Amino acid sequence: MRCRDAKQLLTARRDSNLTRSDEVTLQEHLHYCQPCRATEQQQQHLDTLLSTSAPRICNSIPTEKIMLAIQQQRRISQQLEQLRTQQQTRIVRLRTVGMALAAATFFTLGSIPLLLLAITIEQTGLAVKALSLLSNVIDVLYILTQYLQTGLTIATRNSWLLSGVAFAVVVMMGMWLRLMRYPQEA
């Protein structure tokens, strides 16, 4: 038997395709051929390595690593969910704060004329001086607004909307002026 045939037989034995007579002739060859014996030993070493490591790989991947990966993935998705809820609550909180701020600003701005009116009613004597100064300023503003309205009317002769806005501003200024002048006259 030649070494090439022996190696073929070794491969066949590995796949369990070896007859009884082939096994005997292979053993005879291996008995006196050192290189083929080395090949057989190498093959056996490889086979044991594969047979012991294969189940270990198969066991370690599903049981531990896959479970760990699943847990990590679950944890990440939970964290993402938490972040999303946090963001939503933050948006709701910001919206409420914004609404409260807007309401406070609106209330403050709206209460300024009322506050001034209350002051003028409560302390007419003291307020008259301040009001006479204020009404001078308002007169100037009124005149300025009239000029502004004239300018706007000329500039936007075709735009009724802007003219309406300017008119509304003038009307509001006039109403405020009357409101401010009332205690002085009384």
Interaction site with Zn ion (CB under 5 A): 3, 6, 33, 36
Q: Return phi, psi of residue 111, to 5°.
A: -85, -10
Q: Please give the Cα distance from 69 to 105 (Å, whole number).
A: 53
Closer Cβ to Zn ion, 2 or 65, answer by number:
2
- Residue closest to Zn ion, measured at CB: 33
The amino acid at 62 = P
Closer Cβ to Zn ion, 3 or 115, answer by number:
3
Task: Tell the smallest beta-carbon distance from residue 16 to Zn ion (Å).
Answer: 21
Among the listed residues 138, 132, 122, the one whose alpha carbon sits nearest the alpha carbon of residue 175: 138
Task: Tell the smallest beta-carbon distance from residue 75 to Zn ion (Å).
Answer: 59
Q: Please give the Cα distance from 8 to 25 (Å, whole number).
A: 12
CA torsion sign for 101, 105, 108, 111 is negative
The amino acid at 61 = I
Residue 142 in contact with residue 177, Cβ under 8 Å? yes
Closer Cβ to Zn ion, 33 or 134, answer by number:
33
Closer Cβ to Zn ion, 36 or 127, answer by number:
36
Task: Tell the smallest beta-carbon distance from residue 20 to Zn ion (Å).
Answer: 20
Helix 20-32 to helix 3-14 angle, to the nearest 10 degrees? 130
Closer Cβ to Zn ion, 6 or 180, answer by number:
6
Task: Tell the smallest beta-carbon distance from residue 5 to Zn ion (Å).
Answer: 9
Residue 36 in contact with residue 3, Cβ under 8 Å? yes
The amino acid at 122 = E
Task: Tell the smallest beta-carbon distance from residue 26 to Zn ion (Å).
Answer: 10
Closer Cβ to Zn ion, 33 or 148, answer by number:
33
Task: Tell the smallest beta-carbon distance from residue 23 to Zn ion (Å).
Answer: 15
